[in-house]
Amino acid sequence: MTQTEIKYVQDTFMKVLPISDAAATLFYDRLFELDPSTKALFSNMAKQKKVLMDTLKTVVYSLHEFDTVRPAVRELGKRHVRYHVEERHYATVGQALLYALEKGLGSDFTPEVKQAWASAYTFLANTMKEAAKEVPVK
């Protein structure tokens, strides 16, 4: 990611925080619309929405020094294997995230912001998927 992309993501995330519950709802509603099978991966949606926003907050504010959170992101990728997350789910999650950001940010979701978030998500997802491949198949 470029420094400009990091700035776009961090600046717009500041605008997402006040609407975090609505943004999380938009995200999960869209995720379940795109792939209804993902709904079975979650049990406590109130808790999951908070976890989503807390995780995003940690990662977004660590983008300048991603190596500090890389071990935690890798562990997250490994845990997702135990949650039955498949590699194909990552693309759908990315689509749902961009949708929620577009709806939540409105006119602040410019093409540059969209590209920055897509880069950030791809970076995060690739880190998680790499770690997931290290989990032994049972």
CA gap 5, 84 in Å, rounded: 31
Q: Percent of the chain beyond pLDDT 70?
A: 99
**pTM over 0.85, yes/no:** yes
CB 92 within 8 A of CB 41: no
pLDDT at 10: 97
